[in-house]
Amino acid sequence: MISKTSSGGGYNHDGSCLAMYDNRLYTGYVIFDKFPSGTTEAEIEYDCGSRIGWENEYNEAGFLTYSSYSMRQTTKEIYKYDDEGNLINHHKL
Does 15 reside within a domain? no
Which domain does 82 fall in, by range? Answer: 28-92
Distance CA 65, CA 37 (A): 17
What integer pLDDT is reported at residue 44 of this predicted model?
A: 93
Q: Please tell me the total count of domains within the chain.
A: 1
Over the chain (93 residues), the average pLDDT of each successive run of 10 is: 49 66 91 94 92 94 96 90 97 93
Within-domain flag for 51: yes
Burial of 19 (0-12, 13-18, 19+ CB in 10 A): buried
Task: Please indicate, yes or no, if residue 11 is contained in any of the structural domains.
Answer: no
